[in-house]
Amino acid sequence: MISPQIPPDEAQRLETLRALKILDSAPEERFDRLTRMAKRMFGVPISLVSIVDSDRQWFKSAQGLDATETPRDISFCGHAILGDDLFLIPNAIKDERFHDNPLVTDAPNIRFYAGCPLRVGSGHKMGTLCLIDDKPREMDEEDKQLLRDLAVMAEQEIAALQLATLDELTAISNRRGFISLAKHALAMCRRHGQSATLVFFDLDDFKPINDTYGHAEGDIALIAFANLLRENFRDSDVFARVGGDEFVALLTGTGEEYVQQVLENFQRAVDQYNTEAARGYDLKYSAGYAIRKSDDSCDIEALMARADELLYEQKTARKR
């Protein structure tokens, strides 16, 4: 058996997946309708909307299968998200990647598999719409296109979820998505006796960028700042655009010294971007942060308010 490789965009893919809040969510008719259609149209015993998590594939919708998830390292869908088009296995027992896979040698005794990757707007692949049969089979071009068309419909349903939790411009979490992820992160910190730090960023002199260079350039500046957050914070950190030119980051398991070092490193990265981009203006920002100790009971909204207050104290002091 050959386990699926990890895609190069895995960190960003998982960040997007977490923001969607789709994992372990309740069944929804809009997805079940698609898997019922696929099962009936192709005459297969199993059809799935499978979401590939860090260590499992979880089924948002399943027809003909009682399991709700399986390990990622034995999944067919883990292989499917590595490509851009249909992933087809006409007979798994004759494929060196799968012939001794427990999903082949035991229930559901997969022989035929066809999976179409499901992308979100950023291009990251969240999972697949897939067909499974316990008998070998082939697909002609008409069937392949039909599966692609059904996958597009599934992508549209996922996009509806994404619009609710992701910032459309920067492709990082919006306020709603951040609050959801941050609540989970703070709960984990509380259970493990760890502190957490909320950093509130506000871009300085952002309005003059729009006024002087136009709103398209203002969008470029916002995207650049979001990308700098993505590139310079840890995969385990949660960050978001929560307002027009306001961003936040939640760092878990961190203390004062670590936060200071992170902010120094981030400033150097911003300085480097300004030098290399040379767009006629510099990205500038103010930042305030608040640390929640392991025994502190304040929620994420209170932590954001505390950091925001410190940020504006800094901005006010700078103007004096």
Reported as type and span, the H/E element at residue 221 is: helix 215-232
pLDDT in the model for residue 190:
82
Count other Cβ atoms within 10 Å, centred on residue 61: 23
Task: Give the largest Cα separation in the chain, rounded.
Answer: 76
Taking the chain (320 residues) in runs of 10, the rounded mean pLDDT of each run is 94 86 87 93 96 96 96 97 97 97 97 97 93 97 95 90 79 84 80 88 93 94 94 84 93 85 94 94 92 84 88 73
Strands, E assignment, the chain: 46-52, 56-63, 69-71, 87-89, 112-119, 125-133, 196-204, 238-241, 246-252, 284-292
pLDDT in the model for residue 30:
87
- Compute the half-sphere exposure of residue 55: CA atoms within 13 Å on the CB side of its CA: 0
What is the tens place of the pLDDT at every residue in 21-48? 888 888 888 899 999 999 999 999 999 9
pLDDT in the model for residue 312:
82
pLDDT in the model for residue 319:
64
Show the tokens assigned to 173. 């979490």
pLDDT in the model for residue 320:
61
Which residue ranges form the domains of the chain, and what is each CATH number? Answer: 10-165 (3.30.450.40), 175-319 (3.30.70.270)
pLDDT in the model for residue 255:
78
pLDDT in the model for residue 212:
93
* C-alpha–C-alpha distance, residues 28 and 47, integer Å: 15
